[in-house]
Amino acid sequence: MLRRQRQIRGDLLKIADGCLFGLGFFLAYVIRSNETFLGPQVLGFLGLFGGTKEIENFDDFLPVMVLSVPISLVLLEVQGFYDRALVPSRKETAWQLFKGCTVVTVAVVLVMFLARIQLSRAVIILFGTMSFGLVMLKEELLLRYSKSKLGQSHFRRRFILIGAPEDTQKLSERIVHEGKTDLHVVAEIDVNQTSMDEFLGLLHDHSANGVLMSAKHTLFGQVEKVIQACEVEGVEVWMLADFFHTEISRTSLDEVSGHPVMVFRTAPDASWQAVAKQSMDTMGALLAIIAFLPILLFCAISIRISSPGPILFRQQRSGLNGRPFTMYKFRSMVTDAEQQKRELEDLNEMEGPVFKLAEDPRVTWIGKFLRRRSFDELPQLFNVLKGEMSLVGPRPLPVDETLQFDDLAHRRRLSVKPGLTCLWQISGRNNVKDFQEWVRLDLEYIDNWSLWLDLKILARTVPVVILGTGAK
């Protein structure tokens, strides 16, 4: 199934699930309204020992429902719930759905408790339970339908594989191995050795829905003839973009000035998740600046009183694709730290172009405290607001250290915006002594990026910062 088709299928599933979550909320209210369904003891427990008092009107719950349903869909989306195989694993589906329903239920109950919203919490708990049951029932029905003869005739598309024998054989084996139940290979032909009349005969005999072509070892003149013939017949042609050997690039087709272009990309593509990440960066940085304003003032005053020199340390760091930008930090070292760095290079504890020294003599006494609590990094929130950094991403390196990369593959860590925290930051921070390991963690983040991964990294960063794990 093509990506666009998967997106449409995912959108339809979201609409269906949104309706089911809404139905689940309504059923939860009906059950809570009638105590005979579960009994007063069970309802008292579901209400977190709040008793079984008379329930409020359904209109009072509407704002909660309007908020809970979209959040549930977003949580499922970031887990990849709507970008699955046509016949997904029951276990994986149930686990993703369980996590989404549980997180929404706990979050809404917690918000209601902290905000002292006087609504029955039993309705929210029942909402999570009912929604899980309804969506799982829908998934089971879809699974059974997709495996039935009627479902297979509806979902499966008949394709002819075209290309050199070594290409079509590998492609056919891959389709079988990956269990692509939506593709049914009805014939394989070598178009270099097959006339167009024979090809058209197979196309008509099998009533093929489309042609899947591997043009790696096929003459482009023949490829053009196949495309033109299918164009006349109104049959789709899927041509694999495997002409060039790439290790990690993801290929996509786009358009520039009306001309089709093939895009090879290793960094995350433009998507709604990327838009959400940008919004999270902006709002998160703004809220963090407001929340940490007392700490920011404390740090500024402490630096001013404790040692002569500027409050902020400004340094040119490598940003997106290596573009220099001015990064801000609270000054934690003496004013001539950059000049003293040359004298300390022999003591460098990091293998590679990066300079790290655990017991750095240039650090002031207040600077040690700021570093231990990562307070010195807080001014970078303004870099995030300016769009130069992200909340999560590879840590930005000084421009002079980036220029010393002896392996060009290390520059791929510059393919995304640098961030305040990343996998390296929560993996021991200064305990990571090998720059190769540092880069490996950064590339692992880039290759597996998702909004859900960002949220997990941010959640794991909080205890690391509070405990000062690995900070020097």
For residue range 349-369, list pLDDT tens digits in order.
677 677 777 777 888 888 888
What b-and-e string marks burial along 281-311, b requiring 16 or more CB atoms within 10 Å of the CB?
beebbeebbeeeeeebeebeebbeeebebee
The model's pLDDT over 393-449, given as tens digits with 9 standing for 90+, comes to 999 999 988 888 878 778 888 889 999 998 877 765 556 667 888 888 888 899 889
Query: Mean pLDDT of all residues in the chain?
Result: 82
Q: Is the pLDDT of residue 39 over 50?
A: no
Average pLDDT over residues 199-204: 88
pLDDT confidence bin for 326, thresholds 50/70/90: very high
CB-facing half-sphere around the CA of 156: CA atoms within 13 A: 19
Q: Please, which residues have CB within 8 angstroms of residue 408's CB and are 6 or more apart in sequence?
A: none
Q: What is the mean pLDDT of residues 286-300?
A: 93
Q: What confidence tier does 232 reach under pLDDT thresholds 50, 70, 90?
A: confident
Whether 339 has a pLDDT exceeding 80, the answer reads no
What's the DSSP call for residue 394?
P
pLDDT digit string, tens, across residues 41-52 = 455 544 543 444
- Between 450 and 430, residue with greater pLDDT: 450
Rg for the chain, CA atoms, rounded: 29
Q: What domains does the chain contain, in order, with CATH numbers?
A: 3-149 (no CATH), 156-243 (3.40.50.2300), 272-467 (no CATH)
CB contact at 8 A, 392 and 420: yes
d(CA 399, CA 307) in angstroms, rounded, equals 27
Q: Assess contact for 239 and 210: CB atoms under 8 A.
A: no
Tell me what percent of the residues of the chain surpass a pLDDT of 90. Answer: 21
| Out of 198-207, 400-409, 451-460, least confident range | 400-409
